[in-house]
Structure 1
């Protein structure tokens, strides 16, 4: 009996081993199609994901080369190659992929024969993403997924702000389906692990250095912002408004309440600030409050309610601007800047404006626009991202804010875009679902034409 059972057991074991070997060596194209969640999970570990059902679009070798290009550049650029199936609905695909991946960056998706892209606005402005997508939809490159995606990545890594997420392993692509010997894989795994330890140590040092620089920048900003908050509080005291005073009405009381709220909000936000970018909403609150005070003063005196204008460029503590005047910074080009009444009169007499000066670390005080990049978030809260480029063009602060490195170090959003209205996440940071969805399709990609294969028409973003 045992003699007859042994050959049967041996045959069964051989069948199991053969089946396991076949599963290990089967090409990736034989695997079932994945889901958006599969793609998102993979993109947390590597910059490129190719769905098993879309392997004919991009080979394992081309995928690996694309991953290497992105990781060597160290930029938060994500690429997914997916089949055009109902599992990947065009209208919500990019938003869902970005949400499920949870990392700030630039996302490009090749869906069937079409391409579309989105980005967190602080990593790449919406207009830049549109232009980049349009540039690679040229028929000469669109026919080949490899050529099109490489063209996209070449441009994206040059323009994207921030750095690659720490979770990336460096990319393994689909190499585990290439039939490499198990021993080779084990050796490769050991090398990767050893390299990972070194990379982790370097990453820790880099993060520690960056944290020290951010603390130093925030310490500088605290001095300036505390001066602003103190000046605003003194303005509130000089106003000497009492809600029950004769002539006060509900509109005046509401203005006064908003002014007080702005004061308390600014103090609370500054107390909680841990990063230079946290200063932006503080100065924005102070700007809101000063406008409320200007409106209250107009109501009390019977004057016309002032239009909402930015604060005086030379010193936001002067309050809302009353005019735009032509001004030329030393060595720069002339530009229109908003000014208060006092500075308008001084410039008309040929005198220098009463400029806000800050400590630049060399024992001297200079106008804030001739200081370092740490003052970018401070100015950004007062003037907003859309106004700063024209005001600061050609100045020391303006030239620093225009560099890609500024976004990752000081929070971005102050210069050159103004698109970002979401959280202060830098490229490559984990933000989960806290992101500005306007950079990922808005109302959906059905009206954008990006996945239609017929070119980009500017919609969908």
Structure 2
């Protein structure tokens, strides 16, 4: 399978089934709707943003002359996006063929919105949307008004400053008037003084005030951490694996196809070592080969392992570990550990995720991915190596190094030779 490029490549991938298997994926459906209108509203949110409000948002976007798109779809754990706004935005962007774009979605907190843009930071869109959550006059405002405010800030191009201003007071006590009554009427001052004299109210103010302050500060830190994490290139979000484990086979296939498309876009856009880019493109092609002919969850997990190998090639971080040996849908491993398969004398060194690492250290059986042999489920690594490239390689854990890779194994036919 070659690596198609650009919008034409997206069309080819759709034709070949890499963006759905017989029917359009949720991301493809949204992308198609956005070609008709820059604002997509899921039917479940029609009461939150009605037809008139949608028309106003469309007019506002058209007036900016910017490539802004709004996707208002509910985000819940286990959905097609793993409940993550950044995943939704990335998938829709890929489905629309890439290129300069600004996508506004719901955020991952109640009454929150989020934005991503390509290229990153061109219009400070991420902070523009994030700032709305903290603006006093937006508290209790409807969804359409919050989106409209974000669009206005994006148009102005000063999202970073607006975000800093909106969050500057978090964690900072409000200044007190010298006589306790500045800026209030005499009645207000008397009432405040009277309430302040209540021991119960004073106690509540001492207890509740710091709790709310800590909560607000924690929320800000989480948001700032999320904004930083999203700028890390070529990261395969753990949310992808969390959602993949909850999906049925058809849903897992859709998720795998989305990650293959995303890897292809990242590899073609990457700058740097040409050899690394070539390895990523080879991994992209190998992942497409496996996805085209995947027989079940075990092969689809191999697609994710190949995508991870391609992303590792693009990343500048040294010594990237493969996916978890025991169950690759647990996500990237955190450490290599010694492990002896039950009933065998030889000891292996395998890559394990945090959960499986704790299980092995406490002498508990880790959760393992199973394959079928003679009609019964068994750990995938108990399949004879000649019958399964995944058993032979442990999804990357058992590779010998020195240029040995999952991509190379697939390219030389180790996967297709095992197909019945």
Q: Which bin holds the TM-score, normalised by the shorter protein?
A: under 0.3
Normalised by the length of structure 2, the TM-score is 0.27
Structure with higher Rg: it is 1
